[in-house]
Amino acid sequence: MFNSFSICSFPVQSKWKHFSYHGSSFRRLNVSFASRCEATNKISVEDNIVIRRSADYHPPIWDYDYVQSLRNDFVQDESYKERSSKLKEDVRMMFENVVDPLEKLELIDTIQRLGLSYHFGDEIKKTLKNISIDRSSTVASNKDNLYATALEFRLLRQHGYKVNQDVFACFMDEVGDIKASHNQDCKGLLNLYEASYHLLEGETMLENARKLAAKLLKQCLKVNNDHQYLWMLVEHALVLPLHWRMPRLEARWFIDVYEKKKDKNPIILELAILDYNIVQSMHQDDLRYVVERTWPWQDLELC
């Protein structure tokens, strides 16, 4: 019912080379000066004609008529709001019903990546606070679970909790490499790689772990493509880590990826799709309002 997206697409500009401008060429002057020891300064001017390549930009579609034609019923239709409220209550119940600390961390991670965390700020804060207080009995006590340790480290650091990098010491050997027993743990290595971007100045163990994890993850991509969901996450992270990505754009990407996960939570997925469309509809309404008010200036360019 809520699996359809109405996504606005913006033209992507090409990279410029040689500081050139569309449809034209210019002269670059290379000026060299002779040594000051010479009686007469000699100036040589070399004229190089730089031929500009055409960017072939398409005319923008964002004119007044197009913007005003944007229609999305996700704000006006009360049934969508009612369904969204019902789903949010169901997710809140998950925070109450889930007992295992690792499952709670996975729930928080999924909610954040789907762009839903602003609905569940209190629940996330309470859960992480409890985990940080009693870490001895949580996932960190499992010294063999790289995935659980890295996920807990990343989420706690992300929300401002103090966690020592030494929690990863048990996964490193005497020379500082990741133990061979974890070299094929793609899920654990991925979360270690993502966690390393929350390092503090001087945490050399995490700096080294990032390089090693990235190298091992590239090997995982070559030999392991049986798990499509994990493979897509690894490839995505190696391009740009989660900590550096824009949350809203990441949410749009992750919705499609999470839908392919075999053990996905259908309630969370439905809420993510519905919420994304509701928020997008609000942005479209704001855009129509701005354009309508600025229409006397018809030369206003939107992109």
Would 61 be classed as within a structural domain? no
| 42-46, 50-54, 252-256, 280-284: least confident range | 42-46
3-class DSSP state for residue 57? coil
Spatial contact of 231 and 83, defined as CB atoms under 8 Å apart: no
Asked whether residue 289 carries a pLDDT value surpassing 50, the answer given is yes
Question: What Rg value do the Cα atoms of the chain yield, rounded?
Answer: 26
Stronger pLDDT, 76 or 265, i.e. the higher one: 265
Would 271 be classed as within a structural domain? yes
Would 203 be classed as within a structural domain? yes
Burial class (CB in 10 A: 0-12, 13-18, 19+), 173: exposed
Average pLDDT over residues 165-171: 93
Q: Give the global pTM.
A: 0.76
Per-residue pLDDT, 37: 43
- Count the neighbouring beta carbons within 10 Å of the beta carbon of residue 193: 24
What is the pLDDT confidence band of residue 71, given thresholds at 50, 70 and 90? Answer: confident
Element holding 74 (H helix, E strand): none
Would 234 be classed as within a structural domain? yes
The model's pLDDT over 5-15, given as tens digits with 9 standing for 90+, comes to 444 433 333 33
What percent of the chain clears pLDDT 90, i.e. is strictly above it?
58
What is the pLDDT confidence band of residue 47, given thresholds at 50, 70 and 90? Answer: low
C-alpha span between 194 and 213 (Å, rounded): 9
C-alpha span between 287 and 1 (Å, rounded): 26
What is the pLDDT confidence band of residue 64, given thresholds at 50, 70 and 90? Answer: confident
202 Cβ partners below 8 Å, 6+ apart? none
Angle in degrees, CA 201, 203, 205, rounded to 5: 155
Would 53 be classed as within a structural domain? no
Residue type, 148: A
Per-residue pLDDT, 41: 46
Please state, rounded to an integer, the average pLDDT across all residues of the chain.
82
CATH of the domain at 105: 1.50.10.130
Would 193 be classed as within a structural domain? yes
63 Cβ partners below 8 Å, 6+ apart? none
Asked whether residue 28 carries a pLDDT value surpassing 60, the answer given is no
Count structural domains, the chain. Answer: 1
Q: Which domain holds residue 229?
A: 101-283
C-alpha span between 27 and 19 (Å, rounded): 11
Would 29 be classed as within a structural domain? no
Per-residue pLDDT, 143: 73
Would 59 be classed as within a structural domain? no
